[in-house]
Every structure is written in C-alpha cells, then in structure tokens.
Structure 1
Amino acid sequence: MAILFIGPTRLGDGILVSGLLHWLHGQHPQEEITLACGAPAALALRHASGVASLHIMQKRPRGGHWLDLWRATYGRRWRRIVDLRRSALPWLLRADARHSVPKGAPGEHRVAQAARTLDLPPQAPRLWLDESHRLAAARLLPEGRPVLALGTGANWICKTWPATRFAELIDRLTGPGGVLGGSTVLLVGGADERKSAATVIDGISQNGFVDAFGYDLPTTAALLERADVFVGNDSAMMHLAAATGTRTIGLFGPTQDAQYAPWGRNALVVRTPESIAQLQALRDADGARASASQMTNLEAWSVADAMLRRWPELAHG
C-alpha cells in the first residue's frame, strides 16, 4: 500500500502545500509516497520525507497528462489519494480513501485551503535541507555582516516592484546611517531574472553583493536562512524565504495577499496605495498597463518604515 499525492504545478504553490505532504509522512511513516506534480513544484517537494517516486505532469492537449498519470498509477491499490487539483482521477483508481481539495473560501489562504483537504488546521510550509546545503551557504555568506535578501522577480510583470525601487531600498537600508548599514545584499531567483535586476546589481558595491540567481532550491533556502530580512515580490522566492523563518516582507499590488501572503509569524505584507480592484480597473481602461508594473506607487521609504514598525529590533543591530 502507498499514498498518491497529486500536487500543484507552480513552485510557489508547491512550497505552500509542503506542510501537508510532511504531515502525511508523519502519519504514515512506513508508507511510500508517489508524488505527481508539475516540474517547478517538484523542486520544492521531491526531497520530502517519504517520497519514493516522482511523476512529472507535463501538460498535454486534451488532458493527455491525466491519461499519462492514470497509466502510471492504475495498477495498484492506494491507501490514500490526496488530490490538490480536484480532478476525477482519484475515482478512476482503487483506493481505501480519497481526498480532494475543497474550493477556497473567500479570503482563505492557500495553506489553509490545502490543509482542509484532510480536515486539518493549516500546516506550515516545510523545507528539506541537508548539511551540504548549509555548508555551501556558509561559504557564500560567512557570518559577521547583516544580510539583506531581495527577490526582484515574479511570473507577472504587473506584480513586479520596479528595479529602481529595490535600488532605492538598498540605499536607504544599507547606506550610511541605514539600519542595515554594511550589509551584504543577497539576490535570489531564477537565472532568467538576473537581466531584469541589472539596475539593482549596478548600484551595489561588489564587496557587499552575492549573486545567487539560478542556484538550486535547497542552497537558495539555506542562503535565505542566513538573511536578517527578505524583501520581495509575490513570488516563489517570497514563499521560500518565509518557509525558512527569516523575516519576510511580501510586496503586493494586483494580487491577493489574503490568499498568497508569506506564511508564518515572521512575515509581513506591504501593499500598494491602490487596491486590487483599482489596479484591475486601470488595466481594463488601458490595456498597456497589463504589460507594465502596477507597483510603481509603492515607495521605498514606505517599505522601510513598515519593516521597522514590524521589527524594531533591526534598528539596534
């Protein structure tokens, strides 16, 4: 007997449901888990305790990816099938128990929604790191200086804070008299996000800069563990930082922070002056706004002030 866990496609969603996968292994430590999910989500989930096999769901026409999964799983009986995509597949397989994620309630966070699949309270996201990842992070970020981590990328331009704003925040926080003066600046994200961060990189002293774009997920998580604070867009890097327990500021504009805020006690949301509805109306009125940042009215000083109100201890080193 084994467990089939049908997970999400995106990396950020994979991080958000990781706590549920961890709970399943804790309840059934002797059961092997087959993980089926998208390739990005697998980066967060494939090393989870109990995962014995991985099926990457590559979207195909006419739902062919579901047929692929059925072919890979129909020949056995499952103790549990946990489906976070609300598909018909669990009812096409032999199983002792089937669990399908419920529809989200208004204003419900994705972590809480995923946990309701098994009638549980929210299960905090989890990471699976080993000593090699932490040793690699220690070599890149030796102790002795504060670390300001930044996630400058996102999968939608409208929810991306302009690079010039990130540069202003670096100056405000790490420059002379800044509360994080003398900090090392850590930049994290996919390798394809380095180009859009050029303005940020150009303004940083090379002696105080670690370029971690394109690093593997566990090493990135280990680096974020060593940061004093992370500031980033609504993105997978934001969720990764929050999962490490690092102070995490998520920057939001046109997306739902009620559903996608960084999860945990050490997290903070800072929003644009405009509401989601106002930003949607602007996109509807001017189609060009759908291909440009809608975060421009969020000022660097506002983010810095919110950070110090939430964590005044940062001002005292």
Structure 2
Amino acid sequence: MRLLFITSNRLGDAVLSTAVLRHYIQTFPGIRITVACGPVAAPIFKAVPNLDGIIEMPKQKRGGHWWKLWKSVVLNWWDVIVDLRGSATAYVLPGTRRVVLKGNDDSLHRLEQLGALMKVSPPPLPKIWIDQESRDRADTLLGNVKGSLLIVGPTSNWVGKTWHKERFIETIATLTGKGAVLEDAHVLVVGAPNERDMAEEVIKSVPEERRSEIFGTESLLTVMACLERADLYLGNDSGLMHMAAASGCPTLGLFGPSRDEHYRPFAKWGRAIRTDWSYDKIIANRTSRFSQENLMETLPVEKVVKAATELVTEHRLAGKNND
C-alpha cells in the first residue's frame, strides 16, 4: 500500500499534519510513504517509518513547484493521496483514494480540523519520529546538564507576535532563580538560522555555564530529541512551539496577534497563554496591517511566570503519582 502525503511549506502546519501520518501508519502497518512539502518542513519527516522519499517543493513562479511534483509521482499508482494544501494535484494523479483539505474551518483548532478530515475524533496527536543518530547527538549536547532543562524559543517569523526580549530575560531569570520551580536550570535557546541576532541578548542574559543554543546548527530531529528532555518549553507561537508540544514536554505558547483557539499547543501538557487583549482587539488597534510593531505589549511577565510555574508543578506531580 502506498501513500502520497502532500503537506505544508510552514513548519508549524507540517508538525500538526504529522497527526494524519500517524493515523495512516497505525491503521495500515507497513504502508509505504512519500512526503511532499516545503524545504523548511522536510527535515521533520526524515525518520518517518517506511519512508520511500521526501520531495521538497520550494515555491516557484507560475506554480512550477506543482508541475515538478506531478512529474515526480505521476508514473506511480497511489492507494491514498492526501493533499493538505487543497491543490488540484490529487485529482490529476493516478490513485484509488483522495483525501483533500479544502480551506480552513475557523470553528475548530487546526488539528481538530485534520481529525474531521480523517473522520477521527478526538484526532491523533502529532508525532515526529526521531532516529538514533539524532538522539545520540542530543546526548552529546546535553550530556553535562545535571538538573532541570528549560528550552526557550524567543523568536518568530513576525515581529508582531514576538514577545519582548526584555520580558523573556526577566522570565528566565525568575523561573531559574533561587527557590523557583526551575532553580539553576540549564537554558537552551533555540530558533531558526536567521534569528540568532534577534535572540542574542536573551542568550547572553544566562550565565555561560548554564546555557547553550541551537540556531540552525543542528538538525530539527536533534532539536526534537532535546525537547523530549525539557522540563519546560517557553516560546512564541511558532513551529518550534508545535514541535515542543509533539515531544510531550510541558509547553507554554505565548499568543497575541494569532489565534490560540486555532494554533494553541495541542497536547496533554500543552498550554497557551495570551495577551490581556484579545486577538480581535489587537488587530483592531494596530497601526496598519503592514506595521512592524510588536503586538504583545499586554502580556506581562508575572502572568507568564505564574502559568509556567503551575504547568511545571502539575507535570511533576503527575509524574510522582504515576511512579
């Protein structure tokens, strides 16, 4: 049985889409899988079971990326074609069954929408498969970490939803201070390769012996293996936030000018905390739709520290009760 899986260019949406892959892998053991996605998202699929290949689809003029995909797969017969980008491609390829996502349902979280597409409720949770090489690399990177591990994602692809660096610095200091829930924790700061400069002040705020960083210097699967070990992930609404939630670690996503009802970290230990202002109020009061202003002003440090402390404490208590 063969599956062609067409998914997002964007990392966050691609992470959520792994719930669909999980469903097919669990439902049809041994299914052979070909993934088509954008270059940014491609690395998270490298350890998918029974993977025949990944077709990267960098965007091209006049839809050239779709033509490239068609030429790559048209000579194969597909038992299932899943197209989560709502293109016409699924209908012009040879196959038995086609599952196509047509637009967004704004009454549902994006993962619940994928569940509805598969007719599965509740939806399966996202899963990123990790190879042994990536786990070994995480062992090397975190081998000297003796106590708690706090992973922080202080950047995003849009300044509007990027919480102030000064507030990240204060929050990290408070959560890792004497008597705090993550006292003396090692802090791993993560982000995209082009975001390191944005995070430099946050990185340098942590004593050198208690900090490390990954900004494109390691594979996304190695980042995922690190996330599995974290006592807390704290970060803006981003693809890394969704990776953290998929890892199973306590994940606190920070929201303002994006809708937490659609993109909150969807996991047992995933939580969203948003600005005191609603999404609608933020959008109504921004300077313009093209502004480069920070729109996270009404999310205070105290609110984030309280939510983070409660999440870590709850997770630890649950772990003790399961011992």
The aligned runs of 1:70-89 (5 Å cut-off) are: 70-89=70-89
Contact 2:151/2:230 (8 A) holds in 1: yes
Aligned partners of 1:251 and 1:230: how far apart in 2? 11
Higher mean Cα deviation, 65-74 or 269-278?
65-74
Aligned partners of 1:176 and 1:118: how far apart in 2? 48
1:210 CA displacement = 1.2
Aligned partners of 1:201 and 1:5: how far apart in 2? 38
The aligned runs of 1:46-195 (5 Å cut-off) are: 46-121=46-121, 122-142=123-143, 143-195=145-197
Contact 1:141/1:226 (8 A) holds in 2: no
What is the DSSP-based 3-state SS (H/G/I as helix, E as strand, rest coil) of the residue aligned with 2:180?
coil
Contact 2:189/2:212 (8 A) holds in 1: yes
Higher mean Cα deviation, 62-71 or 200-209?
62-71
What amino acid maps onto 2:189 in structure 1? L
1:199 CA displacement = 1.5
Higher mean Cα deviation, 116-125 or 298-307?
116-125
Aligned partners of 2:197 and 2:177: how far apart in 1? 24
Contact 2:181/2:312 (8 A) holds in 1: no
Higher mean Cα deviation, 26-35 or 82-91?
26-35
1:28-53 alpha-carbon deviations (Å, 9 max, x no partner): 33332221111112122232112202
Aligned partners of 1:120 and 1:9: how far apart in 2? 24
State the partner residue of 1:247.
250
State the partner residue of 1:198.
200
What amino acid maps onto 1:239 in structure 2? H
The aligned runs of 1:265-304 (5 Å cut-off) are: 265-283=268-286, 286-287=287-288, 290-304=291-305
1:261-294 alpha-carbon deviations (Å, 9 max, x no partner): 11101011110011111111122xx239820211
The aligned runs of 1:30-45 (5 Å cut-off) are: 30-45=30-45
Segments of 4+ moved more than 4 angstroms: 313-317
What is the DSSP-based 3-state SS (H/G/I as helix, E as strand, rest coil) of the residue aligned with 2:212?
strand
Aligned residues: 315
Aligned partners of 2:107 and 2:305: how far apart in 1? 27
Contact 1:103/1:113 (8 A) holds in 2: no
Give the share of equivalent positions with the same residue, in percent: 36
Aligned partners of 2:62 and 2:75: how far apart in 1? 23
Aligned partners of 1:200 and 1:53: how far apart in 2? 38
1:222 CA displacement = 1.1
Higher mean Cα deviation, 131-140 or 292-301?
131-140
State the partner residue of 2:223.
220
What is the DSSP-based 3-state SS (H/G/I as helix, E as strand, rest coil) of the residue aligned with 2:246?
helix
The answer to whether 1:305 aligns with 2:294 is no
Assess, with a 3 A threshold, how the Cα gap between structure 1 residues 72 and 132 changes in structure 2: closer, same or farther.
Answer: closer
What amino acid maps onto 1:299 in structure 2? P
Contact 1:15/1:45 (8 A) holds in 2: no
Aligned partners of 1:315 and 1:19: how far apart in 2? 26
The root-mean-square deviation of aligned C-alpha atoms, in Å, is 2.0
Assess, with a 3 A threshold, how the Cα gap between structure 1 residues 311 and 28 changes in structure 2: closer, same or farther.
Answer: same
- Normalised to the residue count of structure 1, the TM-score between the two structures is 0.93
Aligned partners of 2:7 and 2:316: how far apart in 1? 41
